[in-house]
Amino acid sequence: MLIRTPNDIPYSEVTPRATWVRRREFIKLATGAVAGAGAGLLLPDGEALAQTGQKLPGVKPSPLSTTGEKVNPYKDITTYNNYYEFGTDKADPAQYSKNFQTNPWTLTIEGEVAKRKVLGYDDLFSMAPLEERVYRMRCVEAWSVVVPWAGISLADVLKQVEPTPKAKYVSFETVWDHKAMMGPREIGIPLPYVDGLRLDEAMHPLTILAVGLYGEKLPNQNGAPIRLVVPWKYGFKGVKSIVKIKLVEKEPPSTWNITNPREYGFYSNVNPQVDHPRWSQATERRLGEFLRRKTLPFNGYADQVASLYNGMDLRKFY
């Protein structure tokens, strides 16, 4: 069984955190019941390890990380993307987002809040501790990926703007950079890309604003410099490159719901029992794997989040 390849060495020197995640998973496997040829797959291949080199200092591991699953290689996470503003093929965002400028960046948090804030990129790091959250991510198109995000708790950020009693929902808006991005007619969805959460979903401890992955700043194709991550919902709720967060009274619009309301609802919780009108949601293909996996209710986070939806008919509120 191959444990270490020469390619591991430069990688471990660049990003010790990511290596730690990988090694932890390896140890678990090597000492557990699972063994055999499959174990070699746990280590991403050397090709996968080229990173941006923009290390994020002080990323602390979080107990809210998903354990017991192989983290996908950097290459899977950064070359198979949905970011329609840069093209609708999975390889487009990595290729066409290179000229997108994310520095300087301004994030405005406004609406039903006592303390409206206009934040620069660096201000984010003073709002809440930067944590590594390893999450399973499930796209509505039935593929999934495990990502070691670096991010901050959205709840910590929202508490600081002091939502008013009228605030019931939170809306998120992507930048629309006409110079670097395509237009609505070319990609078939209205822009800027928007989506939202109920306030209690936004305040849930699993919900984060991600600024990095594998211990480094987010690559443009993954939503640099800041994007939403809600691991129990379909991936499209994860608004990328956010410029505005607005607390509002009524359920905010969502790009996919506007585009096709029959296929995409507001809640979009991962639910293997409610099929997409054009395909089953019962199983998924994990990037890098051949056999399909069963999709779990709430993407495996039911213990933490199912109570948010007590008494709701999740077929109606899809």
**In this chain, which stretch among 42-50, 82-90, 111-119, 296-304 interacts with ligand MTE, using CB under 6 A?**
82-90
* Of the candidate residues 81, 102, 153, 271, the single one contacting ligand MTE (CB under 6 A): 81
Q: Which is nearer to Mo ion, 93 or 235 (CB)?
A: 235
Binding span for ligand MTE by CB under 6 A among 61-69, 112-120, 198-206, 234-242: 234-242
Residue selected from 43, 137, 139, 194 as contacting Mo ion according to rule CB under 5 A: 139
Q: Can you tell me which of 18, 21, 66, 84 binds ligand MTE, judged by CB under 6 A?
A: 84
- For residue 109, state whether it binds ligand MTE (rule: CB under 6 A): no
* Tally of CB atoms within 10 A around 115: 10
75 to 104: interface string for Mo ion, x by CB under 5 A: -------x----------------------
> Does 239 participate in binding ligand MTE (rule CB under 6 A)?
yes
Residue with smaller CB distance to ligand MTE, 153 or 220: 220
Q: Which of 42, 113, 139, 230 binds ligand MTE (CB under 6 A)?
A: 139
Looking at 238, 252, 264, 318, which residue binds ligand MTE (CB under 6 A)?
238
Closest residue to ligand MTE in the complex (CB): 235
Identify residues 204-233 at the interface with ligand MTE (CB under 6 A): 222-223
Residues of this chain that bind ligand MTE (CB under 6 A): 81-85, 139, 174, 193, 222-223, 235-236, 238-240
Residues of this chain that bind Mo ion (CB under 5 A): 82, 139-140, 235-236
